[in-house]
Structure 1
Amino acid sequence: MANVRQWLAFLGLTAASGCFDPETHARGQGETSSGDASTTSDGGHEGTASPSTSTTPSTTGVEPTDTAQDSSSDGGCSGVDCPCLDDATCDRGLVCREAACAEVVCGDMLVEGQEQCDDGARVDGDGCDADCSLTELIWIDTSYRNTCVGIEGGRVRCWGQGALGQNGYATTDTVGDDEYPAAQGDLMLPGAAIAGSLGDSHACTLLEPVGIRCWGGNGGAQLGLGNLDAVGDDEYPSMPTPMAFDSDPVQIAAGGAHTCVRLQSGDVHCWGSGFGGALGYGNGNTIGDDETGDSTEAVMLGAATVWVSTGVSHTCAVLDDGDVRCWGGNGGGQCGFGVLDTIGDDEQPVAVAALSFDEDALEVSAGYALTCARFDGGDVRCWGGNASGELGQGNLVVVGDDEPATDLPPILLGAAATHVSVGDNHACAQLEGGVVRCWGANYDGQLGLANTMNVGDDEVPSTVAAVDLGTASVTALDAGGNHTCAILERHRLKCWGRNADGQLGLGHIDNVGDDETPAMAPDVPVLVAPR
């Protein structure tokens, strides 16, 4: 009878007031954090606690509450066991369950209050952490045949072609063609990986606190270990000594058969195959075959850098004044100087004028014979080869061979870009609002449009639909050789395009995006395999 009186008193109070207090109404509502993922190495992340083996539900991560039957400011009962209509009528940190206010319990398999998830496992790193928050996916990077993702706590998982050990699991097995990435577990690394980059057949990570670690194919000395031995085919990447420089590395970029690092000082150092002047040391010599990458000199660029990107045979950097400087192979005009001369093979990059646009560049992305840059106003410009419309200008005119890239107008994208990434001959931009728009070659569905029609050859990208990823916004994006991957809100991963080597991580080798949208395909099982 007492409970009935409490309930009647509660209803009478509600009817008399006519509405809920807005501040009170906001209490108890769940908040979902999408996290902040990035393919750059300029941000850190929080470590992951050791997994818990307890099976007892816990209130870990949930705001503690007084379990007494508290009285609200207007005289009503709003504590534990008090009658309620919804979460807003209970004290902050409580939820309304079966018409009574109750504590949120992490581990009871009910997603309530401020919980983001609750799988009942109370184990960190399995997608739903022990405090009922989502396991965060931090960064994503792709190459022609491979994909790697960075996970909170500095963990890394890779999949795709493994012939040269580029997945890093001490085997040459391909991963992702008939199993999921979740089945392989984390790479064995000697530190927390805060960023990563994939080349054609090798991968590198930026580690805390021990520097740089590379693995995979090493025929061009791109691992920088002083030899030509592959790493990751029969040993784990934790074994070789990490490279260390006089200034802290802040960005790593793996290319076709070369690697470059940007230091906190703004210097850039490169090693690997010097074919075509890709290293920028005024010759075509290989570096890293009998010396280590951290023994190199800084590339002469004339200014400090804020970004570096490596393509198959060329390299580009954004200077601290907003100009862009490229060097290396230039057969498609990808260096953007208005000539097809190779730069860096018999001169230093500083010997040629940098590309100075009418707005400052923030980042640059280098592909096969293609380069794209994003500018401070959100514009994107691309130059180089254009056989498939990858310059996004609605034609097939090569730019950079007999006119400088600075003559280009911005690509019409329909919104300001917050990130741009280049594959072999396609490009994708992450736009304000978290949508993605891609253009260029599409023979494997790498544009994610449910067809194989190129975009940009006779239309501009803004006239074509954005990639259908469902209702979730994109938080990180990377274009590989002929595939593309994006991290979505709630730390989900979608990949589409070429899949002959399992690089999409879906447990098969069928392409995605050629006759279905990425939204129609399942998420990549990075942390837990489907049951």
Structure 2
Amino acid sequence: MRSWLLGALFTLVASSAAADEVTWGKPVKGVQLGLAIVPGSGPLPTELELEAVARNVTSQPQQLNVQACDIVRWTAFTLLHVRTASGRVFSYPIGDNVDVADLHPHGPVNLAPGETIRERFSLKSVVRRPTENPRDAELWTLLETPQQVELWMELVGGSGVPRMLSGHLKHRLGLPSSIAPVQAGRCVSQISAGGSAACALLRDGTPWCWGSNPPGAHGTAEGTQDTKGQSPRPLPLLARGTVELGMEHNIACMRTSTGSVYCAGGNLDASVAAYGESGGHPVRIQRMEGAAELDGAQCARAADGTLSCWSLLGIPPPNLDGLVAIHWEESAPGVAQVAMGGGFTCALRKDGTLWCWGANESGQLGVGDVTPHTGPTRVPKLPLEVVSVAAGTSHACVALRDGSLWCWGRSEYGALGLGDVHSSSVPTRVSGMSDVVRVAAGFQKTCAWKKDGSLWCFGDLLTEAPSHALAMVPVEMKELGRHVDEVVFGFRHTCARTSGQEEEGNVLCWGESTEGQSGSSEPRALSSPLRVSGMKGQAVALTAGDSFTCAVTTEGSAWCWGRGTDGQLGTGLMTSSARPMRVRLPCSD
């Protein structure tokens, strides 16, 4: 019998590996061994799949001989060595955990001249969980943190056969050990809130979350660690790899630079299924590769505009397979906009057609019935192409190409702008509205922009004279002027971000302010939009939870106001505030 040890020294960052990037060792007796990362398998060591590659570099047939008892894989006697940052080395047999793709026959392998064979294995399947093997606890902790890990492999013969020492095959995984620090004053690039939690994406790609049961909270069962995020905390496993985040009902989803999507929060906890203990680890969305843009916390679009979605709300904790994205085949020629409602979703295709699916007890899908639809169903009775769509808790509205405004669904508080409270299961035109170019919707309330820049709202506005608390027909929000860039909705409050030369702040809020969520220290509904003051710089992004509001300013810091009894303001205190409070993030002091 013969034995082999093949290798070479190299360095490779996992996230940049391409399909043909194999690092080869030195040929030994005509056979060369290589190691590669499977492209798209994940930006983190625990997500990685590796390929052991062997090829014949001679003009003569070669054989990979192993001691074959019955049928064995050619890597049955291959060892994977992992060196931690402390210098400790762990060694694992790979044979029982490989050939997941069944890429070649079993047993001793004959290689024709120039032939290459591959064996694929998961790093997580080789390294056992700490609960199964306490010896691996140190390594597992390292693998769930983005940092340097060295790997090398040995291909050896049967037991008792001396190994030939011809060098090591090393693979350096994880992120670079040194990353340029965040520029001073440029802390937060994105912010998103939902329910009673919020998350911010720092400019170095690290997501931080806070609030009541925030995404990534450690421990969710009674008697475990406190899940109330008094101070913002980073999401484990995703440090410095996130480029976009979205949030809904305490669940946050993150898109990484590799096009993968991870979700955390709510009843999602990958650590229970995959790690054997609770720890708030994000769940990776399976079959969701090449994501180019997130749509909230339930869908993502690929570079070609096609849409894939997954279900998050109300499901049991994920198993080892995690959450699975379903690709909408009919989304071609691409999706221009996605609107998430309360248990239902609407997608506007680039051809102007509108498709909705999900809950439908109030006719919010606009398809003429009140039964749920599990898959995208085209909304009929729209005379022209749709240019903008918005979804509230149980209603939806669209602007058409001719500037008309159409709504359907539940209208208990006048959210359809039809002058009554009757619901509609089919699109109905809103009288008196023309030149509409954009719409937004929240809990029983709707706002629409006209071509001249004016903003018109209706539904549960909670305002007093000159309009009523329930605006059954559209009312112009004259106090906001003609430069409203963004509108966000809480449970019973609304905030708008304007552009211009305002010196006192460019955020105005109205509606309920019992917790200070509209910026008023008086616990009542605001009679008109109130300008929120106290933030350093002008707001460039807004988001709202149920009873609190957050903003990112021009200097890159995050500020929150409203209810803070569950840590929603991210200050480290469990108190509410009508005045904006700066979120305690590591780069904001």
Establish whether TM, by shorter chain, passes 0.5. Answer: yes
Q: Which moved more, 1:206-215 or 1:335-344?
A: 206-215
Residues 498 and 506, structure 2, Cα contact 8 Å, conserved in 1: yes
| Secondary structure, counterpart of 1:499 in structure 2 | coil
Q: Is the contact between residue 228 and residue 567 of structure 2 (CA under 8 Å) also seen in structure 1? A: yes
- What is the Cα deviation at residue 490 of structure 1? 2.0
- Out of 442, 450, 458, the residue aligned to residue 383 of structure 1 is 458
Pairing partner for 2:490 from 404, 423, 427: 423
In the alignment, the residues of structure 2 paired with residue 176 and residue 396 of structure 1 have an alpha-carbon distance, to the nearest angstrom, of 40
| Equivalent residues in 2 for 1:409-448, closer than 5 Å | 409-413=476-480, 416-433=483-500, 435-448=506-519
Aligned-partner Cα distance in 2 for 1:478–1:314: 20
1:270, 1:299 within 8 Å by CA — same for their partners in 2?
Answer: yes
Shift of 1:273: 1.9
Does 1:146 find its partner at 2:197? yes
Q: Cα–Cα, structure 1 residues 279 and 335, in superposed 2: closer, same or farther, change >3 Å?
A: same
1:285 is aligned to 2:371: yes
CA distance in 1, matches of 2:257, 2:563: 33
1:360 is the counterpart of 2:436: yes
After TM superposition, the structure 1 = structure 2 runs for residues 27-46 of structure 1, keeping only pairs within 5 Å, are: none
CA gap 1:229/1:453 in 2 versus in 1, 3 angstroms: closer
- Tell whether 2:197 aligns with 1:184: no
Does residue 324 of structure 1 match 2:405?
yes
Structure 2 spans left out of the alignment, 5+ residues: 1-42, 45-176, 268-296, 300-308
2:230–2:574: 8 Å Cα contact kept in structure 1?
Answer: no
- Match 2:179 to one of 105, 120, 123: 123
Would you say 1:230 and 2:315 are equivalent positions? Answer: yes
**Map of 1:54-73 to 2, 5 A cutoff?**
none
SS at match of 2:458: strand
1:369 aligns with: 444
CA distance in 1, matches of 2:354, 2:243: 20
Distance 2:452 2:263 in 1: 35
| Contact 1:176/1:504, CA 8 A, preserved across alignment | no
2:468 to 375, 396, 408: 396
2:344 aligns with: 258
Shift of 1:469: 3.0
Give SS of 1:275's match: coil
Structure 1 SS opposite 2:233: helix
Cα displacement string for residues 238-262 of structure 1 (whole angstroms, at most 9, x for unaligned residues): 7423544334344443332223333
Instruction: Verify the 8 A CA contact 1:182 1:529 in the aligned structure 2.
Output: no
CA contact (8 A) 1:217 1:230 kept: no
Give yes or no for contact 2:413–2:421 (8 Å, CA) kept in 1. yes
Contact 1:371–1:384 (8 Å) recurs in 2 = yes
Picking from 533, 554, 562, the partner of 1:468 is: 533
Does the 8 Å contact 2:185/2:588 carry over to 1?
no
Structure 1 letter corresponding to 2:339:
A
After superposition, give the CA deviation of every residue in 1:99-128 in whole Å (9 maximum; x if it has no partner): xxxxxxxxxxxxxxxxxxxxxx9634xxx4
> Aligned runs of 1:341-360 on 2, under 5 Å?
341-344=422-425, 348-349=426-427, 352-354=428-430, 357-360=433-436
Within 5 Å, which residues of 2 pair with 1:465-504? 466-504=531-569
What amino acid does structure 2 have at the position aligned with 1:475? V
Residue matched to 1:509 = 574
More strand by share: 2
Aligned equivalents of 2:483, 2:369: Cα separation in 1: 39
Secondary structure of 2:446 counterpart: strand
Greater relative contact order, per chain length (Cα 8 Å cut-off, separation 6+): 1
Matched, 1:240 2:324: yes
Change (3 A) 1:227 1:161: closer
Q: Supply the AA of the counterpart residue of 1:137.
A: V
Counterpart of 2:26? none
Partner of 1:305: 386
Return the alpha-carbon distance in structure 1 between the equivalents of residues 436 and 337 of structure 2: 20
Deviations 1:283-307 (A, max 9, x none): 222344xxxxxx4133334433333
Aligned-partner SS, 2:228: coil
CA distance in 2: counterparts of 1:305 and 1:178, whole angstroms: 41
* Alignment map for 1:95-114 (pairs within 5 Å): none
TM-score by length of 1: 0.58
Partner of residue 451, structure 1:
522
Q: Given residue 417 of structure 1, which amino acid in structure 2 is its aligned partner?
A: V
CA distance in 1, matches of 2:320, 2:387: 32
Cα deviation for residue 133 of structure 1 reads 6.5
Report how many residues are paired.
Answer: 368
| Counterpart residue identity of residue 433, structure 2 | F
SS in 2 for 1:412: helix
Distance 1:179 1:409, change over 3 A: closer
Contact 2:211 2:230 (8 Å CA) reproduced = no
Distance 1:529 1:185 in 2: 20
- CA–CA distance in 2 between the matches of 1:527 and 1:382? 38
Instruction: Tell whether the 8 Å contact from 1:212 to 1:242 is kept in structure 2 after alignment.
Output: no
Q: Give the match for residue 290 of structure 2.
A: none
SS in 2 for 1:443: coil
SS in 2 for 1:308: strand
Question: Residues 197 and 568 of structure 2 are in contact (CA less than 8 Å); yes or no, is this contact kept in structure 1?
Answer: yes
In structure 2, do the counterparts of structure 1 residues 274 and 472 end up closer, same or farther at CA, with 3 Å as the change threshold? same
Alpha carbons of 1:485 and 1:333: their partners in 2 closer, same or farther (altered >3 Å)? same
Contact 2:207 2:235 in 1 (8 A): no
Equivalent-residue separation in structure 2 for 1:227 and 1:177 (angstroms): 21
* Cα 1:154/1:335, change in 2 over 3 Å: farther
User: Of the two, which has the highest radius of gyration?
Assistant: 2
Equivalent position of 1:274 in the other structure: 360
Cα contact 1:195–1:252 (8 A) shared by 2: no
Shift of 1:315: 2.0
- Give the distance between the partners of 1:485 and 1:422, measured in 2 at CA: 11
Query: 1:430 offset after TM fit, Å?
Result: 1.0
Of 156, 164, 167, 2:215 maps to 167
Q: 1:203 to 1:470 in 2, by over 3 A?
A: closer
2:195·2:545 contact (CA, 8 Å) conserved in 1? yes
CA, structure 1 residues 314+172, in 2 after alignment: closer, same or farther (shift >3 Å)? farther
The aligned counterpart of 1:525 is 584
- 8 Å CA contact 1:171–1:234 kept in 2: the answer is no
- Once residues 306 and 431 of structure 1 are traced to their aligned partners in structure 2, the CA distance between those partners, rounded to angstroms, is 22
Does 278-287 or 133-142 show the bigger shift? 133-142
Q: Distance in 2 between matches of 1:308 and 1:208?
A: 28
How far does residue 368 in structure 1 lie from its aligned partner after superposition? 1.8
Deviation at 1:330, TM superposition (A): 0.9
Secondary structure of 2:324 counterpart: coil
Question: Which residue identity does 2:315 align to in structure 1?
Answer: A
**Change in CA separation of 1:285 and 1:151 when aligned onto 2, cut-off 3 Å:** farther
Tell me how large the CA RMSD over aligned residues is: 4.1
SS state of the match for residue 181, structure 1?
strand
Whether the aligned pair in 1 keeps the contact of 2:363 and 2:424 (CA below 8 Å) is yes
